[in-house]
Structure 1
């Protein structure tokens, strides 16, 4: 935990979050993964439509890499004092709107890490400072 800023994925996570904050006040881990290039828009959309059983199946990289990135996201948004909120993901498109899975295991903590959204709750000036620092 103390050395997460030294992790090789940290700069990429920070840049992805800054790009998201330029356009929005909400950071979702799936958006960070797309911003880092580990999840294509096409694969994300297929998962959202229920065409993929779980998100990790279409993650581009190892599952240990995904877990490291999720942890770094959590630490970084905590440092930014963003507010975490549980978010439910449901299938989009035609048919029954069943809940989507992120992992093959269905581990509760892992599912929460993927589904949690982080909300900016500070001044826009501070947000611009965060964006400029990257």
Structure 2
């Protein structure tokens, strides 16, 4: 597994795809989530994602299309890129949809706290719309 660090993330082969996916998500909304980026990149199937939201799939990584090391690299690159864009991190809790109990959804089989936090961390755009449009246009 290739280690993604603050010094090397721009050289990673997934970096251009992550940047493009973040820009596409930003063009629609001011909040970027790992799930949104993975959907935009094609690593999550929308139908399977909706099944996970309804609690029909035990954890999100089960429906990820690709290796889990790839998912971890994408999450790290997205975090570093969002930091470069001066976006504000916000932890979000995902609840099961469609049932009265609304249990909390899991992202990973292991339930590792740091990994669960990485999947649930959204990044909020808190700057001017002009700067956002400039970033999107520069791709």
TM-score normalised by L of structure 2: 0.95
Structure 1: distance between partners of 2:89 and 2:127: 14
Instruction: Tell me the SS of whatever aligns to 1:19.
Output: helix
Please name the residue that 1:37 is paired with.
42
Structure 1: distance between partners of 2:20 and 2:40: 9
Instruction: Tell me the SS of whatever aligns to 1:117.
Output: strand
Superposition CA RMSD, Å: 0.6
Deviation digits for residues 25-62 of structure 1, max 9, x if unmatched? 00000000000000011111000000000000000000
Please name the residue that 1:78 is paired with.
83
Question: Aligned-pair distance for 1:94?
Answer: 2.6
Please name the residue that 1:15 is paired with.
20
Structure 2: distance between partners of 1:59 and 1:95: 27
Alignment length (residue pairs): 134
Please name the residue that 1:107 is paired with.
112
Unaligned runs of 5+ in 1: none
Structure 1: distance between partners of 2:108 and 2:129: 35
Please name the residue that 1:126 is paired with.
131
Deviation digits for residues 86-129 of structure 1, max 9, x if unmatched? 10000001342100000000000000000011000000010011
Structure 1: distance between partners of 2:61 and 2:22: 20
Deviation digits for residues 2-43 of structure 1, max 9, x if unmatched? 010110100000000000111100000000000000001111
Runs of 4+ residues over 3 Å off in structure 1: none
Structure 1: distance between partners of 2:135 and 2:75: 20
Structure 2: distance between partners of 1:75 and 1:99: 27
Please name the residue that 2:65 is paired with.
60
Unaligned runs of 5+ in 2: none
